[in-house]
Structure 1
Amino acid sequence: MPKFFDLSINKNCEKIVLTGENAHHIGKVLRCRIGDSITVCDGKCTDFVCTISDISKDEVFLDVQKTEKCKEPSYEAVLYQALPKGDKTELIIQKAVELGVRRIVLFSSQNCVVKFDKKSVNSKLERYNAVSLSAAKQCLRGIVPKIEYLPDLDSVLEDISQYDKKILFYEGKNTVFIKSIIKDKMPKSIGFIIGSEGGFTPKEAEKCALKGLDLAGLGDRILRTETASLCALAMLMYEEN
């Protein structure tokens, strides 16, 4: 059943009207007809199972049949991703959304080749949030993870302090496995930092450790940045279940 998001839905509504891109996709791309079923999510983990009662050029009218709670991870996972090269960012966003991330924060570290300038940040974030929305529809998420940007590691360390567990994934020595950090109980929230292709400098790792972050490894091999972020999320899924 096709799924769409409408963040303006009233929790107790009996009818929904979709417009804009949602209406275009339903009518012109999927070619849905009156009587067809679709799901609309409010972005707050509630699905509205609906049937189409009418379709016009710019609007789709829906009758709500029932509501269902979406299945989301019991923990809040937040990925702080140092900017990678090329088009890897979109891949990371897409797959991280599939793997249950709640929020993604992009940032620049010392070894990042890519840098965002002030003029391009908003347009890039608009594109990246569209990728997140598309992925959330495809994998039937109950929320749309927000994509944000912070200028540097210091800003990241200030932001990550709000979470119960704070992890830097680092390829250096004296790291531990994620299982020993989580131990027997999954925390309510986890913020974790992944480096770009050049990783983190020893000084950056030391700064994170001094701020109370656990330094964790992902095994004996050096993983690509796009692999590392997804590997970390997959490990969290495994530990939850």
Structure 2
Amino acid sequence: MSLPVHLAPSLTGVAPGETVEVTGDEAHHAVAVRRLRVGETVVLTDGAGTSVTGPVGSTGKRVFTVRVDDVRREPRPQPELVVVQALPKGDRGELAVEVLTEVGVALVVPWAAARSVAVWKGERAERSRAKWQATAREAAKQARRSWLPEVAALARTAEVVDLVAGADLALVLHEGADDALVHVDVPSAGRIVLVVGPEGGLSEAEVAALVGAGARSVRLGDEVLRTSTAGVVAAAAVLARTPRWG
């Protein structure tokens, strides 16, 4: 059975034999919801590549401690995968973030595409991004990731174009593309950007701007996937051709 994973503050410099304290909402969830007990072995990760394993030494209402038995430090996975996700309707955005986190995406960029039905403005934008961040955090623990994904602030098309221009490989999913994603050469390192359009599809102007910045327009297959599932399918297809899944 896999050990439970919890988030901790920075674990930089932590060594076996030391004690790590976890407080706040993370500790409350572990103690009050998961019923964490003294002596139970858990994994703590700081989300920046360091994880420790050890038994719980003490618990309180919003605090618990772990005695470190083992420390593991992992380099940031390469290549780094970024998914630009056009805003879906309802809670399908959180579904997309959850599964993208599970497959190993490093950064999710919510995108206000021209044909996005959902709209993020003002306080709603802050709340929606917070939901995506919380979803990513919980999915990362479930997937036992030592590097947590980030959720960027809402991006406009001009900002997505800049992301594409700075990528080592950028792919725009488009059902009308002549090239298939499976025929694209995938680099073993660097940054790969996948752009996923909204339910209404990408506008001609968006495709032209992204391709003009260096992206390749590609299709996954004959089927047209929903925006909340297209990203994870494309991410898996890309990662399957890298050392990360080799």
Corresponding residue to 1:126 among 95, 105, 130: 130
- Which residue in 1 is equivalent to 2:147? 143
How far did residue 46 of structure 1 move?
1.6
How far did residue 162 of structure 1 move?
2.5
Is the contact made by 1:3 and 1:138 (CA closer than 8 Å) also made in structure 2?
yes
Q: Secondary structure at the match of 2:183?
A: helix
Q: What letter is aligned with 1:27?
A: V
Q: Does 1:81 align with 2:85?
A: yes
Change (3 A) 1:155 1:96: same
Q: Percent identity?
A: 26
- Which residue in 2 is equivalent to 1:48? 52
Corresponding residue to 2:223 among 213, 221, 224: 221
- What is the rounded CA distance, in whole Å, between the counterparts of 1:231 and 1:71 in structure 2? 25
Q: Which runs of 5+ in 1 are unaligned?
A: none
- What is the rounded CA distance, in whole Å, between the counterparts of 1:10 and 1:210 in structure 2? 42
- Which residue in 2 is equivalent to 1:231? 233
- Which residue in 1 is equivalent to 2:25? 21
- What is the rounded CA distance, in whole Å, between the counterparts of 2:166 and 2:197 in structure 1? 20
- Which residue in 2 is equivalent to 1:208? 210
What are the residue-to-residue correspondences of 1:62-81 with 2, within 5 Å? 62-70=66-74, 73-81=77-85
How far did residue 71 of structure 1 move?
8.3
Total equivalences in the alignment = 239
Which deviates more from structure 2 when the two are superposed, residues 185-194 or residues 58-67?
185-194
Write the deviation string for residues 87-116 of structure 1: whole angstroms up to 9, x where unpaired: 100000000000110000001111111111
Give me the TM-score of the superposition, normalised by structure 2.
0.91
Write the deviation string for residues 14-41 of structure 1: whole angstroms up to 9, x where unpaired: 2100111222122222222221111000
How far did residue 225 of structure 1 move?
0.9
How far did residue 179 of structure 1 move?
3.4
- What is the rounded CA distance, in whole Å, between the counterparts of 1:71 and 1:179 in structure 2? 27
Is the contact made by 1:71 and 1:141 (CA closer than 8 Å) also made in structure 2?
no
Is the contact made by 1:165 and 1:187 (CA closer than 8 Å) also made in structure 2?
no
- What is the rounded CA distance, in whole Å, between the counterparts of 1:203 and 1:18 in structure 2? 49
Is the contact made by 1:53 and 1:61 (CA closer than 8 Å) also made in structure 2?
yes
- What is the rounded CA distance, in whole Å, between the counterparts of 2:106 and 2:177 in structure 1? 29
Which deviates more from structure 2 when the two are superposed, residues 108-117 or residues 155-164?
155-164
How far did residue 141 of structure 1 move?
0.8
- What is the rounded CA distance, in whole Å, between the counterparts of 1:177 and 1:72 in structure 2? 29
- What is the rounded CA distance, in whole Å, between the counterparts of 2:163 and 2:207 in structure 1? 17
Write the deviation string for residues 183-204 of structure 1: whole angstroms up to 9, x where unpaired: 5x42421011000101111222
Write the deviation string for residues 121-148 of structure 1: whole angstroms up to 9, x where unpaired: 1121112101110000111011221112
Q: Secondary structure at the match of 2:225?
A: coil
Q: What letter is aligned with 1:191?
A: V
Is the contact made by 2:86 and 2:198 (CA closer than 8 Å) also made in structure 1?
yes
Is the contact made by 1:72 and 1:141 (CA closer than 8 Å) also made in structure 2?
no
Q: Secondary structure at the match of 2:201?
A: coil
- Which residue in 2 is equivalent to 1:103? 107
- Which residue in 1 is equivalent to 2:176? 172
Q: Secondary structure at the match of 2:241?
A: helix
Give me the TM-score of the superposition, normalised by structure 1.
0.92
Which deviates more from structure 2 when the two are superposed, residues 90-99 or residues 115-124?
115-124
When the two chains are superposed, the root-mean-square deviation of aligned CA atoms in Å is: 1.7
- What is the rounded CA distance, in whole Å, between the counterparts of 1:151 and 1:100 in structure 2? 21
